[in-house]
A and B are shown apart, each in its own frame.
Chain A
Amino acid sequence: MTLDQVILFTVDLLALFSVYLIISLGLNLQQGVTGIPNFGLVLAVAGGAYITASLSTRLAIYLLNVHTSLDPIVNNVTVLQLVNPILRSSPWISIGLLILFLIIGGASGALMGLISSAPAIRLREDYLAITLLAFGEILNVVGTGYDPLIGGPAGTSLPDIFGWAGQYRFYWATLIMLLVAVMLFVYIERLVKTPFGRVLKAIRDNENTAMSLGKDITRYRMSSILIGSILCGIAGALWALYSGAVTPSYDRLDYTFLPWLMVLLGGMGSNVGTAVGTLVFVTLDELIDYFKYSFAPFLPFNVVWLNYLLLGLLTIFILIYRPEGIIREKWTSTPAARPQTGEAKPG
């Protein structure tokens, strides 16, 4: 690797890491903190990506009052040729749009979370898991079949809100994504430490007792799913904006199963663990991807299958030999607890 290759490698890696960190945080809040096995994350991610993509061009036309008779989805590329120059020339408008789109992404995620969990929220854990997984499929069917959403299988492009960065577009995009991810990390980390988070954990640890203590289980679980889905939606929107285009190809493996493996690797229940797990996983995956050509000659089979074998085996290994992941969930200290308990302790 030459130096600039190392830089490129790192930048791509950080971009992936940011997106997956957000999704993993969403999952950790649901499964790790509240104990809701959401195997349908992909729905919220795809929701964020598709709906944002669907609205982005339309909104851009409206807000930048670009006058065109063309349909923003059908003649997507041509319309964007009118929009992108404006964005390229004005970073601040672009950033404004970015924030708007992220909000839309989050909202779409929430909507998806609502749709998928509403019929299932009262079900037993296992039912819920399978049901959410099943519902995860629905959006790709719609995305492919209903052209006004994202123009069918061909997908659609989004306004290039990073265009102003010119040849450094992807560096800036990555930086911003990382920023968003870190902000969300801090937010969730704090949220979990509030009394609200404490109740979520209580529900995870013992639903009946929580009920006997007057907690409205359903409402808490619902809000956990919603927050998680909002995060997934934001991640979806971010990735769509970063890559500049969306096709109805968001699948279970990439956007439900991999985040599960990441959180697992890091340690369910701990946000730091989640972050570490995501970083390690993405890094491993990219390294395998990068070096596969080097050991391709020694493999008796096509090297692209290596990812599957290694990821799968790695996960099984972790599950058997270190089920709690790299980082064990810590007993989060109680806000304002220190002084009182401090003097209670001897010495």
Chain B
Amino acid sequence: MGCVGLLNPVALPTIISWLTYSSLLSMMALGVTLLYRTTKVANFAHASLVTSGAYVAYSIVVVLHPNPYLGVPLAFAVVGGLGLLLFYGVLEPMRRRHSPTVMLMVATLAFDIVLFGVLNILADYLASTYFVPSRNILLSSSDFTFMGQPGIFFVAVGVLSLCSVVLYFLLNFTTLGIALRASMENSSLAQAIGVNVTLMLAISWFAAGGLAGVSGALLPMWTLVNPNTGTVLLASMFCASIVGGLDEIYGAVLGGFLLGFVDVVGTSVLASSIGAWIAFYEPAVPLVVLAATLILAPKGLAGFLSRRRK
């Protein structure tokens, strides 16, 4: 296996890391798209929500030293709560005053800035109280391995599939989901037929926050986490969800995996063919993909496919 890895960039390890990275990215993008569909808002706060997930999980590890994966459910709950706070504390009052969408977006941005400050304070607190490194966090050394592959791979892929499946059933086979979809398609109409749209939005904010929290909690199992990690990843999340297409929930997953593929596999191939210097421009890859998508399929992948089906 290793020797193959030496010669062929598209070997199993590369595939593994592609899937892991993509799953994490998709989880974040899923939240972005969901919120866009329900609230028509591009949620800038997603950056710090993701990071919060990481720090919630890490705090648990620091205080109680459990297996880092045990922090994930808590991260889901707490960050979901943060999502609710953002919705009920900031967005809902604004919606009641009929603020335009762009203003809502700026509000999420302001919330993100506050959260960023809070995260840094938390990090300082962890460092000074528990004498642990609270910046450049990495937990992958305490990860398990299964069939010679890192645990995070299985967990990330598993959690993503779980979330997508649950979301799918929730949206398609429950009255709640139908109400939710109704309020996505036409909130005023939904209101008219007695759907509590506000509640629906709240639920979607909780879910999106939860997803961000989970992906964040898994992040330190894969890469170095700082209070600004989410901010660094924000552009990629947005790219993933546009590339996938904002009009379809599952578009986010499509986008995440496409982006991950071009990023990890594509750049590897380029690096081995053109030259290693290209690897430097990796961070620009999502943007290139985005530009390409907008030119080829302005409605994103999902939109493209669904148009094909018609």
Contacts and interface: CB of A to CB of B under 8 A. Distances in A.
Given A137-B287, A319-B106, A320-B93, A130 B238 contact: yes
Interface stretch (B17-25, B115-123, B159-167, B262-270): B115-123
A233 to B, nearest CB: 20
Contact of B235 (A127, A133, A260): A133
B286 interface: yes
Given A127-B246, A134-B290, A302-B121, A313 B102 contact: no
Nearest to B117: A308
Contact of B239 (A134, A261, A302, A319): A134
A326 to B, nearest CB: 15
A161 to B, nearest CB: 32
Contacts of A264: 103, 106
A119 B295 contact: yes
Contacts of B241: 130
Contacts of B103: 264, 319, 323
A142 B280 CA distance: 9
Contacts of B106: 260-261, 264, 315, 319
A86 interface: no
A127 B299 CA distance: 9
A126 interface: yes
Given A129-B102, A130-B242, A323-B97, A311 B113 contact: yes
Contact of B291 (A31, A119, A123, A133): A119
A267 interface: no
Interface in A23-58: 31, 37, 39
Interface string B34-65: 00100010100000000000000000000000
B109 interface: yes
B127 to A, nearest CB: 11
B295 A129 contact: no
A288 to B, nearest CB: 12
Q: Is chain A's binding surface mostly helix, strand, loop or mixed?
A: helix
Interface string A77-91: 000000000000000
Given A137-B235, A301-B121, A253 B281 contact: no
Interface in A302-347: 302, 305-309, 311-313, 315-316, 319-320, 323
Contacts of B284: 137-138, 141-142
Contacts of B283: 137, 141
Interface string A59-103: 000000000000000000000000000000000000000000000
Contacts of A305: 117-118, 120-121
Contacts of A257: 109, 113
A259 to B, nearest CB: 11
B107 interface: yes
Contacts of A319: 90, 94, 99, 103, 106-107, 110
A312 B111 contact: yes
Ranked 5 nearest A-B pairs via Cβ: A308-B117, A312-B114, A315-B110, A312-B113, A305-B117
Interface of A: 31, 37, 39, 119-120, 122-123, 125-127, 129-131, 133-138, 141-142, 145, 252-253, 257, 260-261, 264, 301-302, 305-309, 311-313, 315-316, 319-320, 323
Given A39-B105, A315-B107, 16 more contacts: A119-B291, A127-B242, A134-B286, A134-B287, A135-B290, A264-B106, A301-B125, A302-B124, A305-B120, A309-B114, A311-B113, A312-B113, A313-B114, A316-B111, A319-B94, A319-B110
24 contacts: A39-B105, A119-B291, A120-B294, A125-B101, A126-B36, A126-B101, A129-B42, A130-B242, A134-B239, A134-B290, A135-B291, A137-B287, A141-B281, A257-B109, A261-B110, A309-B117, A312-B112, A312-B113, A312-B117, A313-B114, A316-B114, A319-B90, A319-B106, A319-B107
